[in-house]
Amino acid sequence: MSVAKKDYKRITTKSLIEMKANGEKISMLTAYDYTMAKIVDSAGVDVILVGDSASNVMAGHETTLPITLDQMIYHASSVVRAAERALVVVDLPFGSYQSDPREALRSSIRIMKESGGHAVKLEGGKEIKESIKKILNAGIPVMGHLGLTPQSIYKFGTYTVRAKEEAEAEKLLEDAKMLEKIGCFALVLEKIPSALAQKVAASISIPVIGIGAGSGVDGQVLVLHDMIGMTHEFSPRFLRRYMNLFEDMTKAIGQYVEDVKSVDFPNANEQY
Ligand code: KIV
């Protein structure tokens, strides 16, 4: 199969829709800071997600719930400064959009104005339809997120695969069609059966980006720190680790400690 890709100067929401139409898969990774975002962007990733997984990865919280809108804006503005080609999508954090559409719009405007991000992402289907419409009406592109939605972890009680039962699968498909209809430019599907994800992707014309949703969708997303093996406690089946940076960095830092203690570092060439 061909992996040919069109070279875009700057990825836009329109380019992503075009990629789906042309059968070009979309790559998406998270980043939360300038240095990592620079590497991710240089490597040719199409979309950088400033995910609220920053709450786990950057701050060490057990869930995504504690991260605040101010903290998301801080992470996003660092990423935006680094991204020359990728589209930067920023998660609306828990508590910044659920209460009413006006709050959802206010939070989205803050993200766009204060971070320079290009789009927002929020979790949920018909329950938040009015909020999504309000944000879209202000000219802000919205990416949806269905399936396992980590901001609802206390409702689910577990991080296991969602939509295995017919009723939940049907609702998910309806929600996906609704998100397309009201004008979302893309959709994340997290941890659902691959057959269902493929059906959703075939039923709508906007790109479906999967995480733990199989290969029948229009693109893939992973949490950067998981795919480069910086984190090591978390090993779901869908995760492919391309490096083992936890081990490599621990070794390198251990070596540095040894060199400092033994006065091997700095050597004669490493001083003035
Ligand atoms: O916050 C995040 O990193 C996400 C991805 C897992 C899709 O929402």
Residue 5 has pLDDT above 80, yes or no: no
| Residue 209 located in a structural domain | yes
Report CA(202)–ligand 1 centroid distance (Å): 22
State residue 4's pLDDT score: 63
How many separate domains does the chain show?
Answer: 2
Residues 79, 125, single domain; the answer is: yes
Residue 3 pLDDT > 80: no
Q: Tens digit of pLDDT for each residue in 239-255?
A: 999 999 999 999 999 99
> Percent of the chain, pLDDT > 70?
99
How far is ligand 1, taken at its centre, from the CA of residue 9, in Å? Answer: 25
Residue list for the binding site: 52-53, 91, 121, 123
Residue 191 has pLDDT above 50, yes or no: yes
Q: Is the CB of 123 under 6 A from ligand 1?
A: no
13 φ, ψ (degrees, to nearest 5):
-60, -35
**Closest atom, ligand 1, to C-alpha of 28:** 7
172 and 267 in a single domain? The answer is no
- Residue 6's pLDDT is what? 72
- Asked if the model's pLDDT at residue 121 lies above 80, the reply is yes
Does residue 8 sit within a domain? no
Does 1 map to a domain? Answer: no
Answer yes or no: is 5 within a domain: no
Q: Is the CB of 226 under 6 A from ligand 1?
A: no
Do the domain assignments include residue 213? yes
Atom of ligand 1 nearest to the CA of 221: 7
Whether residue 262 sits in one domain with residue 187: no
- Let me know if 190 is a catalytic residue: yes
Distance in Å, CA 183 to ligand 1 centroid: 21
In this predicted structure, the answer to whether residue 38 has a pLDDT above a threshold of 90 is: yes
Is 58 part of a structural domain of the chain? yes
Each residue's pLDDT tens digit, 150-181: 999 999 999 999 999 999 999 999 999 999 99
- Per the listing, tokens 């950057």 go with 58
| Same-domain check for residues 83 and 119 | yes
Both 265 and 220 in a single domain?
A: no
Domain that holds residue 258: 246-272
Q: What is the mean pLDDT of the chain?
A: 97
Band (pLDDT 50/70/90 cuts) for residue 120 is: very high
State whether 76 and 130 are in the same domain. Answer: yes
